[in-house]
Amino acid sequence: MELTTILNRCHHFRGFVYEHARFSTDKKSIEVILRPRKGSAALCSRCHLPAPGYDQLAERRFEFIPLWGFFVFLLYAMRRVDCRRCGMVAVEEVPWSDGKRTLTKAYMLFLARWARRLSWKETAEAFRTSWDKVFDAVEHVVAWGLEHRTLGQIDAIGVDEIQYAKGHRYLTLVYQIDIGITRLLWVGRERTIESFQGFFTTMG
């Protein structure tokens, strides 16, 4: 079974094709080449709708989930589109990455899940990556969760505080503690009244 077959089964991207996989020249990583499916239109990254092509940029490397001890990179030459709705030339939107990030969405989710079990430093060391990349992954997943969360009715809240650094530096935590559901709603710096007021400002 080929690696491209496995990727198509677990991470299939509509409008794109895994062309082939190969070892890098130093044999330390696996490179998977992607190309647009024939006849598929590129999407504008601003309005998220199909737009006519303009030109093609140099090939970029996107870091994917490591496999069998090897780093894995998706290689793809981004297209630019001439979007008349937006009135500008923009880089296309791709389903495996977000903006200018070099990490794929799948890898960010992978790192963020491990960062719930280990410290960020331990997560970075375990997967031979950097603390900054773990931070970026967690930030991306948290931002996605905040954008898509549904709060519904909240009848009861609980307030707690934790020390996160030396020198009596604290975070204020607000939880929903209704019957049948307990979840973190908000985190604020310090344990002051002004900080706690930020919770009500955020929640409306």
Task: Kindly report which listed range (45-54, 101-110, 160-169, 170-179) carries the lowest average pLDDT score.
Answer: 160-169
Each residue's pLDDT tens digit, 121-170:
999 999 999 999 999 999 999 888 888 888 788 889 888 888 877 777 88
- DSSP assignments along 152-195, one per residue: -----EEEEEEEEETTTEEEEEEEEEETTEEEEEEEEESSSHHH
DSSP state of 128: T
Amino acid in position 60: R
Helix and strand element counts for the chain (H, E)? 5, 9
27: which 2 tokens? 């044999």
Q: Do the beta carbons of residue 32 and residue 13 sit within 8 Å?
A: no
How far, in Å, CA of 95 to CA of 171, rounded?
35
The residue behind tokens 């992954």 is 137
The residue behind tokens 């607000």 is 174
Beta bridge partners of 177: 182
pTM: 0.80
Q: How confident is the model at residue 23 (pLDDT cuts 50, 70, 90)?
A: very high
